[in-house]
Each structure stands twice: as structure tokens, then as C-alpha cells.
Amino acid sequence: MVQPWSEKIEEHRNGIKTLPIWIKLMNVPKALWTREGLSFVASLVGEPICMDEQTTSKTRLSFARICVEVPVNQDYKKVVCSMKGKSVEVDVEYPWIPKSCTKCNRFGHSSLWCGIIPATGNAPVKGKGKEIRKEQSRTHVWKEKAQVTDRGQTSEIRVEPTNPFQ
């Protein structure tokens, strides 16, 4: 979702309770490969919004790609079961799963990082009656700086070879 920034958008950002995401439905029985059938199967994941062109025109039958609206507390199932006369299992693939918090019911962070302090990058972790700060792990790799010399009029930077036996 892309919109020009304004102060009103910032105010409403925390009020977003649903997001549209694309899903892939695989192993869909041919009998359900209709607009109503695919809508029914997609509704087991979220609120169906639209299908991509190849799904609509049935030019790609290996999977159906459907945009569904999911709530903030969505349970992303790998398989959905359809009960239309008999039990049918349809595999679901999520190319992107939005981060969501089960504590504050907002998108944008997981419940592990709920209440993150932006100034320090530390997140509060609740312990036995006291608050403990858990620092984000940082890994630094230090590399030795090569000696650079500039020779002549070239745009290429040349590195002097070093003698490993010195």
C-alpha cells in the first residue's frame, strides 16, 4: 500500500487491522477452478479481493494466485481443507507474510519486539518483576585496510601488493 505521506496517514497507521496479500493456491481440483470455486477456497484464508490475469484467463493451471485481505491476527495455514461434498486439501503458499503483533494487534513488528525503544534499538523484555533490556546482536568484521597509491591519470585505483613474509 503506497500513499503520499501526510500527518493524517501517520495518525491512522496504527489503526490498520487488515492488509491485502497475494497467496498461491496449489493442487486446486479442476472442479473448483471457477471464479466461485477459487473465491470459496481463498475465503478459507482471508477475504478474496482479486485474481491475477493468468488465473482469471486460466492460462496457468499449476496454481492460482489470489489477493486476499488478512486480519492482523491471521493464522497462516499451509493447507486449507474444502468441504464441498468431500474433503479436499489445497496447499497454500505465502510469498510475503506481514509482521504482526499479537500483543498490541498491529502490523509492522512481531510480539517479540512489541514496545521497542527507537532511540536505543533495545527492546524491553519482561522478567520476574523487573524490566531487562535485551540488546540486538551486532557482528562486526574488521578488515585490514589496503595501501592505496595513485599513479598517473587513470580512473582505476591501484593497490600495492604486500609481501606476506615481512
How far from each other are the two terminal CA atoms of the chain, in whole angstroms? 59
Question: Within 13 Å of residue 74, how many CA atoms lie on the same side as its CB?
Answer: 25
Name the residue ranges covered by the structural domains of the chain: 18-107
Look at the domain 18-107 and name its fold: Alpha-Beta Plaits (3.30.70)
User: How confident is the model at residue 135, as a pLDDT?
Assistant: 42
Q: What is the mean pLDDT of the chain?
A: 75
* Cα 118 → chain centroid: 21
Count of beta carbons in the 10 Å neighbourhood of residue 13: 11
What is the reported pLDDT for 15?
72
Q: What is the pTM of this model?
A: 0.60
Q: What's phi and psi for 51, nearest 5 deg? A: -120, 155
Given pLDDT bands bounded at 50, 70 and 90, which one contains residue 73? confident
Report the Cα 89 to chain-centroid distance in Å: 25
Which parts of 7-146 fold into alpha helices (H)?
7-13, 35-42, 53-57
pLDDT band at 95 (very low <50, low <70, confident <90, very high): very high
Reading the block at residue 37, the C-alpha cell is: 470455486
Q: How confident is the model at residue 3 (pLDDT cuts 50, 70, 90)?
A: confident
Q: Which of 1-10, 36-45, 85-94, 106-115 has the highest mean pLDDT?
A: 36-45
Q: Determine the 3-state secondary structure of 31 from DSSP.
A: helix
